[in-house]
Amino acid sequence: MNSIQRISTLQSLRFVFITLIFMSHIGIGSHHFDFGGDCGVAFFFILSGFVLSLRYSKELSSACFSPREFITKRLRNYYLLHLLTLVGALVIYGLGKRAFCKIICNLLLLQSWIPIPDFFFYGNSVAWFLSTITFLYIIFAFMFKFISVAKPIWLLLILAVYLFVAFLIPKTYAIGLIYIHPISRAFDFGLGIIIWRIYSIYSAFSLRAWQGTMVEFALITLYVLLYLVYPYCPLTYKLSSVFWVPHILLILYFSSQQHFDTPLGKLLRTPFLQYMGNHTLEIFLTHQLCIYVVTRGLVHIGYDDYYVLKLCLSVILTTLAVAVYDKASCQLVRLIKKYCCPVKKLNFSTPKCEFFKYVL
């Protein structure tokens, strides 16, 4: 099994963690599920750093890497959907106060730099992720070159200093400065690059089915235990760093293991999970708006207490939104290829799933 086939097993994990984020926004019954959102977001930042390093390590090492082309390619894959969901959010929520400044920040993907909820959650609230990840793309080449040659002791020292500083941040500013801010998320992203560095040394190993099952059971147990202790963790840690160890182990295991003759391994290779893993970006950017529309509609008719109904309708509406965008974007690409751009200059032939290996 080659590296691409092994990495494809992470594709299904994307759907698992986007489901956790979805559930964190809709809740579980009458209870909040903050664990799902914090866990899922940290996973995607770490995974992005890992897969980007895997994809571009040779180009960066040989000085063939083009930062401009790299950034342009990333923006081309998500900026249109960002604009559409921003317009949808303004229609649904209204403009609000100081709308002009907030809209400009959203258009320029700068909202996550302003640690004020009215700014970084303005419009389509989850779009702060795009603002943060765009900055990480910009500094990716620098981070990769530094982390790939730095001594482990220096990397550990930098992480220790970050954890110490994070502990000192007041709870009032924790969301804006730790959960949202690009500088803080650079540490999650950098962990992904560190995982690549470990992976490049121990790139493949083979376990027997029973051994793999034991490892997977241990990983699941670790996440369950983390869920149980999560409410008692300091806020500044449970927003991200408390998930570092399990995410590192999870990504290392599923990216390096050669054979997946285990129940979980077989499940992650199913076409349905692979397909859903390809659409995590659309799910991420549309689900919050869909949940809000469904919730307001149920409140209007007096059915807002029916949680199962709200969950089902939210899933259906999100699925429809994803399907419509997917169909429309494919048509748009065909039109661009046919009328606007020479195929040699702007290549749209790369399968859509290639993008999701890098972000969501």
Instruction: Give 16-70 pLDDT, tens digit per residue.
Output: 999 999 999 998 766 788 999 999 999 999 999 999 999 998 888 887 888 899 9
How far is the CA of 276 from the CAs of 13, 172, 250, in angstroms? 10, 36, 19
Contact predicate 187/162, CB 8 Å? yes
Does the pLDDT at position 312 exceed 70? yes
Determine the pLDDT at residue 70.
92
**Confidence tier at 355 by pLDDT (50, 70, 90):** very low
* 35 or 333, greater pLDDT: 35
Residues 6+ positions from 177 with CB-CB distance below 8 Å: 115, 169, 184
**Residue-level pLDDT at 360:** 60
Min mean pLDDT across 90-99, 114-123, 280-289, 329-338 is at 329-338
The confidence band for 261, taking pLDDT boundaries of 50, 70 and 90, is: confident
- Among 110-119, 262-271, 345-354, name the most confident range: 110-119
Q: What is the tens place of the pLDDT at every residue in 91-107?
A: 999 888 888 999 999 99
Q: Closest by alpha carbon to 131, among 97, 107, 101?
A: 107
Q: Say yes or no to pLDDT of 350 above 50.
A: no
What's the whole-model pTM score?
A: 0.90
**Per-residue pLDDT at 141 exceeds 90:** yes
Model confidence at 270, pLDDT cuts 50, 70, 90, reads confident
In whole angstroms, give the CA distance from residue 305 to residue 328: 35
Residue 348: CB atoms within 10 Å: 14
